[in-house]
Amino acid sequence: MIVTASQDAFASPVESWVRVSVKLRTMRRALLVALGVVVALVAAVLSVIAGSGLAAVVAVVVVVAICAGAFVVIGRNYDSWGYAERGADLLVTHGVMWRRLVVVPYGRMQLVDVTAGPIERKFGISTLRLHTASAGTDARIHGLTAAEANRLRDRLAALGESQSAGL
Amino acid sequence: MTAPEDETLSGDQAWRSGDQAWRRRGGRLHPLTPIVRAARVLVSLAALGTYNLEKVRHAGWWLPVIVVGVLLVGLGASALSWAFTRFAIDGGEVHIDSGVLFRRSRQVRIDRLQAIDIVQPLLARALGLAELKLDMAGGSEGRVRLGYLRLDEAQALRAALLAMAAGLDHRTPEAPQRPLVHCSGGAIVGSALLSTPALIGFIWVAAFLAGAIASGHPGVFTGALAGVVSVFSAVWQTIQQHFGFTVADSPDGLRLRHGLFETRAQTVPPGRVQAVRIVQPLMWRVFGWVRVDANIAGYAGHRAEDGRQHNSVLLPVGSREQALLVVGRALPGVDIDAVHMTRVPGRAKWRSPLLWWTYRAGADEAIVSIRSGFLTKVHAVMRHEKIQSVRLSVGPWQRALRLATVHVDSTKGPVDVVLRHRDLGEGRRIVDAEVVRAERGRALRMPDRWMTTNSGPATNG
């Protein structure tokens, strides 16, 4: 019952949320595995140097367990991301433990940023950020494909222009 | 009725004397500008000297030489900068060219003005000079200083700029003003001394004094003084900034005048106030005092430039009736006490045991309103059409209790409109309702040139 209420409060105002690219999940999981392998290797090598084979095994098991947990968390976090374009505003939702929903009217957008770091570029995704005159507006969408990010940016810029309101 | 936007103000037009003075100087600032600017160097040198009193006392003949040298360099630099600065008003824009090595040319759209201040530091006041500060939306780059000018020039220029910003002819005489509230010196000093930081300072002093007496070591007390000095210098800053605060109302907007040594006359045009709050710190209840703060686009984020927080106070101290009078002018046509407020569900006590019973929120057709706080009471309101974005957030503990917090985002400033711990379903309904009301409000909003509406007073240009 509690779950339904929470889902209702974060339901999409249109048919459904547009989900972000699955490459976001892939990228985060790949980074996690890479980090896990490095940490496990270092821990194991240090344990062996210290002369304890058992410690090495324990260290690796702990690292693998943590990574498995984080693997699931990344999946759930990915599932929580969504956005929707309405007639006059853009909605973005994300978060599992801390759920967020942001509504930004197109007329209030001052700036639309599309950024992609080196690793994001490798996976062909970018991050889109919306800025308004408020510092509190925290509207960003991770894991958009480059094409979708550009389409959204151009559309938002055009809508922002046509619906622009003075302060 | 209105001046066309592309009109150029040429010299043969009937400008009042104050306007003509800077034109006769070829668009230059007042020739005494470098002296006022260089005086700031002297002030900082004096401050440096008082911090190093021992060294100053034992300094030789070279000290005066260095001081004079630094002053001369400062004066020379200011004079050069003055000589290379020109300004003009033309086609709905203020143009300012400045810079000796790196030339800088700025154009400021007058219809985007958020507020105009006339500032007079002590020396400028003695010389009859004033600086004009134009606040535009958008960070520290959005602030333009035009100084120094003769006081009457600055006032005439302000009147012309406000008239043009309103969409009227620049020759429109300065709008008449009607005084609303004047804060007595006693109230300013008393309210600063009863403010929460000052009270903490007093308790701090008392605690260490008691400690010093009990232990018999005076050193305990002197050790605590350093912390106290900074608290009381902040209190002193507040007093000298707000001294003689007067609020007046005019068709140009709210006019605020204040300051003990450095006086400041602020003009906030209608519709530029984004959000307002009425605050009552604990000890102010004794006298029934409240303060009114506002979010004004262009006022926040300038701290770095002149080293002090910008004044976003509309009324530093006054009765609730006076506060309502000022709020009524800042947000015309709004009755903030008429909004029906509702409390949060009782289960919110598990999330916020101390304050849950103080949270109230409500909205009507024009505004969204919140009240909160027990020790310091806050009542914040915002017009729907000024909303920048709306956020719903639910933390894990809130989710277990089916509660949600709604943030109604305004521009940077002291006022935060946050509806804490509403029922989860209600939270989402509030978000949806606010978005719809904001959209409707924006469609009906006052235009940037506030005198060009049909509803505005008819004026001959």
Domain for residue B454, yes or no?
no
The total number of structural domains in chain B stands at: 2
* Residue where a domain stops, chosen among B120, B146, B178: B178
Residue whose C-alpha is closest to residue B114's, from B298, B250, B249: B298
Q: Which residues of B touch A108 (CB under 8 A)?
A: 387-389
Full domain range(s) for residue A133: 82-163
pLDDT at residue number A54: 87
End-to-end CA distance of chain A: 42
Residue A83 preceded by cis peptide, ω within 30? no
Whole-angstrom distance, CA of residue B14 vs CA of residue B158: 16
Query: Which of A101, A129, A162, A163 would you mutate first to test chain B, the one with the most B CBs within 10 A?
Result: A101
Residues of B within 8 A of A10 (CB-CB) are 392, 394, 428
Same domain (yes/no): A153, A103: yes
Is A5 within 8 Å of chain B by CB?
A: yes
| A136 in the same domain as A72 | no
Whether A122 is in a domain gets the answer: yes
Q: Do the chains contact at A2 and B400, CB–CB below 8 Å?
A: yes
Whether residue A71 is found in the same domain as residue A91 = no
Answer whether residue B234 is part of any domain: no
Instruction: Decide if pLDDT at A148 tops 80.
Output: yes
- The answer as to whether B162 is a domain residue is yes
**Contact yes or no for A99/A10 (Cβ under 8 A):** yes
- State whether B164 and B285 are in the same domain: no
Residues A100 and A159 occupy one common structural domain: yes
* Residue from the list A9, A97, A102 with its beta carbon closest to the beta carbon of B389: A102
- Could you tell me if residue B231 is inside a domain? no
- β-pair partners for B422: B404
Judge whether A2 is closer than 8 Å to chain B, CB to CB. yes
CA nearest to B251, candidates B18, B452, B19, B9: B452
Residues of chain B below pLDDT 70: 1-20, 137-142, 223, 226-227, 298-311, 445-461
**Cβ contact, residue pair A101, B428, below 8 Å:** yes
Chain B residues whose CB is inside 8 A of the A99 CB are: 392-394, 399
Q: How far is A130 from chain B (nearest CA, A)?
A: 11
Q: Is residue B108 within 8 Å of residue B84, measured between CB atoms?
A: no
pLDDT at B456: 37
Please give the Cα distance from B132 to B264 (Å, whole number).
Answer: 10
A98 touches chain B (CB under 8 A): yes
List the domain range (segments joined by +) for residue B82: 17-178
Tell me, yes or no, if A1 comes closer than 8 A to chain B by beta carbon: no
A53 pLDDT exceeds 50? yes
Q: For A115-143, what is the mean pLDDT?
A: 89
Are the beta carbons of B409 and A137 separated by less than 8 Å? yes
Residue B390 and residue B417 in contact, taking contact as beta carbons nearer than 8 Å:
no
Nearest to B438 among A98, A99, A105 (CB): A105
Q: Is residue B214 part of a domain?
A: no
Is B368 part of any domain?
Answer: yes
Q: pTM for this one?
A: 0.81
Subunit contact A5:B425, Cβ cutoff 8 A:
yes
Residue after which a domain boundary falls, among B152, B178, B204 = B178
In this structure, the answer to whether residues A30 and A86 fall within a common structural domain is no
**A49 and chain B in contact, CB less than 8 A:** no
* CATH code of the domain covering residue B92: 2.30.29
Structure confidence at residue A1 (pLDDT):
37
Residue of B nearest to A92 (CA): B391
Q: Are residues B163 and B275 in the same domain?
A: no
pLDDT at site B211: 82
Question: Has residue A12 been placed in a domain?
Answer: no
- Structural domain ending residue among the three candidates B178, B211, B237: B178
Nearest to B427 among A9, A103, A139 (CB): A9
Regarding whether A86 and A62 lie in a shared domain, the answer is: no
The nearest CA of chain A is from the CA of B203 a distance in Å of 35
Q: How many CB pairs under 8 A join A and B?
A: 110
Reported ipTM: the value is 0.88
Count of domains observed in chain A? 2
Contacts of B143 (CB under 8 A, 6+ apart): B133, B134, B135, B136, B298, B302, B305
Q: Which secondary-structure segment (H or E) carries A128?
A: strand A125-131
Instruction: Report CB contact under 8 Å: A101, B431.
Output: yes
Say whether B428 and A102 touch across the interface (CB within 8 A): no
From chain B, the residues in CB contact with A134 under 8 A are 388-389, 409-412
Percent of chain A with pLDDT over 70: 94
Instruction: Indicate whether A3 belongs to any domain.
Output: no
pLDDT value, residue B300: 54
**Same-domain pairing of A93 and A64:** no
Listed in sequence order, the residues at least 6 apart from B459 whose beta carbon sits closer than 8 Å to its beta carbon are: B1, B168, B172, B451
Give dist(CA A19, CA A92) in Å, integer: 10
* Best residue of A10, A85, A103, A108 to probe chain B, by most B CBs closer than 10 Å: A103
